[in-house]
């Protein structure tokens, strides 16, 4: 009990000092961020599971990008108690000169299997239930789509070669959950209404809604895995919501962002750790003078640290609870019925993760205390011999956190590489500037040469300060600047190389119409490259779902059909990134090349066998090369490419992707082109940039809290850089004043010290941000990173000014004490 009481008193005494409070608040903020993220994610995942149970519209759904053959459909019908077939395709609907992209759902007589449809006579009309879909010859439009096209119930709508009547306004579909929370415009029509099937587009999907008991569902699940390798199956009970993978990736992204926060926290903790070590040595020396063994003394040190972490946990939980409730209240606008709940297991896992990381950061200090004698406990001891263990454990902790959350190892690796390179640059700059400045000042007099001399004597301390402030600046720049630079640069690049209209997908019969329409309107076709729609279903004979189970953006894309193109030569806008490109006219057509990011994210190796399903048939290719994007030949590129000789062996329709340049007077004529070819997918560049701007707006809102956390931890780093080295600065000022220097001279000397520190740190931060931008843009897009130079210069000036101001205030405050007090540590 005496030991516990003593540990508690010592812990409270530590909190009365600035470095103790900084350490406590830093750990509390890190845990607060992770707990808030964990609880929010757990609530959303729980909501999606309950939502799946209530709104699937059937017992299970089989979704395939290739319709079942008649024999397969009959087999499925025999195993099911009821079945309904629906098909979805993205098309463009027109009315007069107005047009809108919409998702068209084709339904049969059995739809819906479970639940009811909600329809009305006008967008603002009262809703009524319907137990069947639109009748033949009718089309139902979503409320927003009807408003956009200025259509009312009873109006006529031409879809390709079919004249349809607007029969109702569609409000709700019982199987709407399959769309996740999509905001796409909606339309519904009976399959028999259309003279030609518009569902031949690349992203078209066929769904089979099935009624079956538990035994029947298990039988159908086994049959689907064996017979339909490219299909996905979702069950009402025990299944995964279509959005579950997306929200897992969202959690991973935000969790990966916490790596930056953790790095900042680690820097702040390392700086305050100097004072903590001094206090622990002093206490261990006192314990030893009373006859206490080293083992007992270390147990008390560990106990004090555990009490500190326990206090952090309490503070974090108290802060998390109201924040979590506010976030859930905000999300209820997008997820009606979402509620806040305390997920104890998830909370314990998160606390355990941060505890392990904090302990890893503290281990070098514990070993340092454990391996010292009583004499070294009393005397002041240099921390230089334990610098590298602290750096290694810090990097290891960051790597563990990244491994826990990352779903894109290539981008994660780039971020960590930029940080490591920035650290190396700042170390080299510090040593070079200080040593050269000391060499320059040896034959000169004045305060500046003397400042270099003092910095040379405190080189290790100065390096630690530079690293802390430099990393803080780097991570702030990385968070707040790079994404906006990317948006501006990409918009200009696409506009220069690809015209102002992107041909996202055109079928073979569309190409003549595109060229004819271009001649009529004075437009020009910039590029038009062929591809076939292919879905990756297996890797080395293993189903894709079994081969890769960790969610990622790449896997989410590969679960749908991708564009597979062909070329004998490396395209002008590609370069060979690895492996060996095939020879022109090769007979071995079963070769394939992919992009480096795809290889990294999916764990592909050269020599792997990739199996694709194309129009219901399986084709195997051997991965032999990797190609990366390079500027100069347009931005239309493909993830996967095969030899030109492979095209003759693939039985599938050819589709095209490209771009056009339209004069201002041609835009009004697009409705006429779409009315004749509703499945033609054209996307104006303005729409793409508007989407990016909307995405940027959403991301800005999401990251506002994150940026606030980053700024808060940056302030902790700045405070720690002053507090952690305050004793050394006080001693230095005391010695200088005892030798006759005035307070003004000490302040000038302090200004030189902090000014040089800030300059080196800011230079390293800007170079690190530049390196990270160059790495990402060159590797991902083959573009040269061109940052906003005035913005960088402004950041440099602000950072130097802020650091000098804080250092000046701290020095001025300390100089108010007497020389005797300054010399007392």
503, 659 Cβ separation under 8 angstroms = yes
Whether the pLDDT of residue 151 is over 70: the answer is yes
Structure tokens at 415: 């971020």
**Cβ contact 685:498 at 8 Å:** yes
pLDDT for residue 180: 46
Strands 82-95 and 524-539: unpaired
Q: Which of the pair, 39 or 239, is modelled with greater confidence?
A: 39
Q: How far apart are CA 525 and CA 284, in angstroms?
A: 79
Is residue 215 very low, low, confident or very high in pLDDT (cuts 50, 70, 90)? confident
Could you give the CA distance from residue 48 to residue 258 in angstroms, rounded to a whole number? 24
pLDDT at 8 over 70: yes
Among 88-102, 332-346, 614-628, the range of highest mean pLDDT: 614-628
Lowest mean pLDDT among 340-344, 529-533, 772-776: 772-776
Would you say residue 395 has pLDDT above 60? yes
Average of pLDDT values for 45-65?
68
Determine the angle formed by the axes of helices 244-289 and 18-55, rounding to 10 degrees. 150
Spell out the long-range contacts of 119-122 with Cβ–Cβ below 8 A and sequence spacing 24 or more. Answer: 119/168, 119/169, 119/170, 119/171, 120/168, 120/169, 120/171, 121/153, 121/168, 121/169, 122/152, 122/153, 122/169
3-state secondary structure (DSSP) of residue 208: strand
pLDDT tens digits for range 285-331: 777 777 777 778 788 888 888 888 899 999 999 999 898 888 888 77
The confidence score (pLDDT) of residue 817 equals 57
Q: Which residue has the tokens 């879909």?
A: 133
Q: Which residue do the tokens 């480096």 mark?
A: 596
pLDDT tens for 57-112 read 677 888 888 888 888 888 888 888 888 888 888 888 888 778 888 888 899 888 88
Integer Cα distance of 166 and 590 in angstroms: 49
Characterize the bridge pairing of strands 574-579 and 542-543: unpaired
The number of angstroms, rounded, from the C-alpha of 792 to the middle of its chain's C-alpha atoms is: 24
pLDDT given at position 239: 47
At residue 620, the pLDDT reads: 92
Would you state the structure tokens that stand for residue 73, as one six-digit string?
Answer: 């459909």
pLDDT for 147 beyond 60: yes
Other residues' Cβ atoms within 10 Å of the Cβ of residue 109 = 12
Which pLDDT score, from 0 to 100, does residue 624 have? 92
C-alpha to C-alpha distances, 330 to 33, 103, 131, nearest whole angstrom:
17, 28, 34
- Print burial letters for 782-814: b (CB count within 10 Å at least 16), e (below 16): bbebebeeeebeebbeebbebbbebbeebbeeb
The phi-psi region of residue 207 (left if phi > 0; otherwise alpha if psi is between -120 and 50; otherwise beta) is beta
- How high is the pLDDT of residue 607? 92
Residue 368, C-beta contacts closer than 8 angstroms, at least 6 positions apart? 277, 383, 386
Counting Cβ atoms within 10 Å, is residue 61 exposed (0-12), middle (13-18) or buried (19+)?
A: buried
Q: Between the CA of residue 347 and those of 137, 589, 626, what are the distances in Å? A: 55, 53, 42
* Span 471-484, average pLDDT: 66
The confidence band for 615, taking pLDDT boundaries of 50, 70 and 90, is confident
Closest by CA to 102, choosing from 191, 209, 179, is 179
Lowest mean pLDDT among 196-200, 708-712, 757-761: 196-200
Whether the predicted pLDDT of 640 surpasses 90: yes
Q: Provide the 10 A C-beta neighbour count for residue 708.
A: 10
Helix H, strand E, coil C: the string for 285-325 is: HHHHHCCCCHHHHHHHHHHHHHHHHHHHHHHHHHHHHHHHH
pLDDT above 70 for 39: yes
- pLDDT beyond 70 at 622: yes
> Residue 645 in 3-state DSSP?
helix
**Can you read off the two tokens belonging to residue 820?**
């005797």
Peptide bond into 807 cis (omega under 30): no
Q: What is the pLDDT of residue 547?
A: 85
CB 364 within 8 A of CB 393: yes
The whole-number average pLDDT for the span 252-259 is 59
Strands (E), 549-636: 562-566, 574-579, 591-594, 609-614, 617-629
pLDDT score, position 90: 82
Per-residue confidence band for 206, with pLDDT thresholds at 50, 70 and 90 = confident
Closest alpha carbon to 359 in 314, 305, 398, 315:
305
Whether 488 and 596 have beta carbons less than 8 Å apart is answered as no
CA distance linking residue 58 with residue 686, whole number of Å: 40
Token pair for 142:
């979503």
Using DSSP, state whether 536 is helix, strand or coil.
strand
CA distances to 71, 107, 204 from 85, rounded to whole Å, are: 15, 6, 14
Report the DSSP pairing between strands 640-642 and 591-594.
Answer: antiparallel
Q: Give the percent of the chain with pLDDT over 90.
A: 6
Q: What is the pLDDT of residue 199?
A: 47
Give the pLDDT confidence of 110-139 residue by residue, as tens digits.
Answer: 888 877 888 888 887 777 888 888 998 899
**Stretch among 65-79, 156-170, 483-497, 706-720 having the lowest mean pLDDT:** 483-497
User: Cβ(26)–Cβ(713) under 8 Å?
Assistant: yes
Backbone angles phi, psi at 743, to 5 degrees: -65, -35
pLDDT at 247 over 80: no
359-368, 469-478, 612-621: least confidently modelled range: 469-478
At 481, is the pLDDT very low, low, confident or very high (cuts 50, 70, 90)? low
| Max CA distance (Å), the chain | 100
Residues 686-699 have a mean pLDDT of: 60
C-alpha span between 785 and 482 (Å, rounded): 10
DSSP 648: G
Residue 182: pLDDT over 50 = yes
pLDDT of residue 591 exceeding 90, the answer is yes
Q: What integer best gives the mean pLDDT of the chain?
A: 77
260-289: average pLDDT: 74
CA distance 549 to 535: 17
Structure tokens at 210: 């099935």
Residue 592 confidence (pLDDT): 93
Across the range 757-779, mean pLDDT stands at 76
Give the mean model confidence (pLDDT) for residues 418-424.
79
Mean pLDDT of 794-813: 76
* Residue 736, pLDDT above cutoff 50: yes
Contact present, 102 and 184 (Cβ < 8 Å): yes
619 alpha carbon, distance to own chain's centre: 33
Average pLDDT over residues 587-615: 88
| 34 CB-near residues (< 8 Å, 6+ apart) | 255, 258, 350, 353, 354
Q: Residue 524 has what DSSP assignment?
A: E
Q: Taking 70 as the threshold, does the pLDDT of residue 183 lie above it?
A: no
pLDDT for 242: 47
Contact 239/174 with Cβ under 8 angstroms?
Answer: no
Q: At what angle do helices 685-723 and 18-55 cross, to 10 degrees?
A: 150
């Amino acid at each position: 009990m005496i030991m516990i009481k003593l540990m508690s008193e010592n812990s409270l005494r530590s909190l009365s000092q600035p470095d103790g409070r900084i350490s406590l608040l830093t750990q509390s903020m890190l845990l607060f961020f992770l707990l808030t993220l964990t609880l929010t994610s757990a609530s959303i995942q729980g909501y999606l599971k309950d939502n799946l149970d209530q709104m699937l519209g059937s017992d299970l759904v089989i979704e395939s990008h290739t319709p079942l053959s008649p024999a397969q459909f009959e087999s499925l019908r025999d195993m099911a108690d009821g079945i309904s077939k629906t098909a979805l395709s993205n098309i463009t609907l027109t009315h007069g000169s107005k047009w809108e992209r919409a998702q068209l759902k084709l339904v049969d007589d059995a739809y819906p299997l479970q639940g009811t449809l909600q329809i009305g006579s006008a967008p603002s009309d009262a809703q009524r239930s319907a137990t069947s879909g639109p009748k033949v010859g009718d089309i139902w439009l979503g409320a927003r789509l009807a408003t956009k096209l200025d259509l009312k119930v009873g109006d006529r709508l031409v879809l390709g070669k079919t004249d349809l009547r607007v029969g109702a306004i569609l409000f709700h579909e019982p199987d709407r959950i399959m769309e996740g929370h999509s905001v796409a415009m909606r339309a519904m029509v009976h399959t028999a209404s259309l003279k030609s099937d518009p569902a031949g587009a690349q992203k078209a999907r066929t769904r089979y809604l099935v009624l079956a008991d538990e035994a029947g569902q298990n039988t159908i699940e086994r049959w689907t895995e064996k017979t339909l390798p490219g299909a996905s199956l979702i069950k009402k009970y025990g299944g995964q919501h279509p959005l579950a993978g997306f929200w897992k990736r969202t959690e991973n992204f935000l969790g990966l962002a916490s790596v930056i926060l953790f790095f900042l926290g680690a820097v702040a903790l390392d700086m305050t750790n100097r004072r903590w070590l001094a206090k622990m040595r002093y206490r261990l020396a006192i314990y030893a003078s009373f006859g206490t063994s080293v083992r007992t003394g270390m147990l008390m040190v560990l106990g004090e640290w555990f009490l500190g972490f326990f206090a952090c946990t309490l503070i974090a939980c108290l802060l998390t609870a109201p924040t979590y409730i506010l976030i859930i209240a905000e999300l209820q606008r997008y997820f009606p019925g979402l509620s806040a709940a305390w997920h104890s297991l998830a909370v314990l896992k998160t606390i355990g993760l941060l505890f392990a990381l904090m302990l890893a950061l503290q281990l070098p200090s514990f070993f340092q205390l454990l391996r010292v004698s009583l004499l070294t406990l009393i005397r002041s001891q240099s921390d230089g011999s334990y610098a590298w263990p602290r750096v290694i454990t810090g990097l290891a902790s960051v790597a563990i956190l990244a491994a826990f959350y990352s779903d894109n190892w290539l981008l994660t690796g780039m971020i960590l590489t930029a940080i490591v390179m920035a650290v190396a640059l700042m170390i080299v700059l510090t040593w070079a500037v200080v040593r050269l400045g000391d060499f320059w000042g040896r034959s000169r007099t004045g305060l500046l040469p003397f400042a270099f001399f003092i910095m040379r004597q405190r080189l290790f301390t100065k390096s630690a300060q530079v690293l802390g402030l430099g990393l803080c600046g780097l991570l702030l720049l990385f968070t707040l600047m790079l994404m906006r630079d990317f948006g501006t640069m990409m918009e200009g690049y696409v506009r220069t190389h690809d015209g102002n209209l992107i041909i996202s997908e055109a079928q073979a019969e569309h190409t003549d119409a595109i060229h004819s329409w271009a001649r009529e309107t004075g437009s020009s076709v910039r590029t038009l490259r062929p591809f076939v729609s292919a879905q990756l279903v297996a890797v080395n004979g293993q189903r894709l779902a079994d081969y890769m189970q960790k969610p990622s953006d790449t896997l989410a894309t590969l679960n749908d059909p991708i564009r597979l193109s062909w070329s004998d030569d490396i395209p002008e806008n590609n370069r060979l990134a690895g492996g060996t490109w095939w020879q022109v006219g090769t007979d071995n057509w079963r070769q394939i090349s992919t992009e480096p990011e795809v290889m990294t994210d999916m764990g592909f190796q050269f020599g792997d066998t990739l199996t694709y399903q194309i129009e219901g048939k399986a084709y195997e290719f051997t991965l032999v090369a990797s190609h990366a994007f390079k500027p100069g030949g347009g931005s239309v590129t493909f993830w996967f490419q095969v030899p030109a000789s492979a095209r003759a062996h693939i039985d599938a329709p050819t589709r095209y992707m490209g771009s056009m340049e339209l004069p201002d007077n041609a835009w009004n004529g697009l409705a006429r082109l779409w009315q004749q070819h509703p499945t033609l997918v054209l996307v104006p560049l303005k729409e793409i940039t508007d989407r990016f701007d909307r995405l940027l707006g959403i991301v800005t809102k999401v990251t506002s809290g994150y940026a606030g956390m980053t700024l808060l931890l940056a302030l902790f780093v700045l405070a720690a850089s002053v507090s952690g080295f305050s004793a050394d600065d006080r001693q230095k000022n005391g010695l200088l004043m005892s030798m006759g220097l005035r307070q003004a001279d000490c302040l000038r000397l302090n200004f030189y010290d902090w000014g040089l520190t800030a300059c080196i740190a800011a230079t390293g931060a800007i170079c690190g941000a530049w390196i990270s931008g160059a790495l990402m843009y060159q590797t991902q897009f083959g573009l040269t990173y061109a940052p906003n130079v005035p913005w960088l210069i402004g950041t440099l000036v602000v950072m130097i000014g802020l650091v000098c101001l804080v250092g000046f205030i701290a020095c001025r405050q300390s100089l108010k004490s007497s020389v005797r007090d300054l010399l007392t540590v």
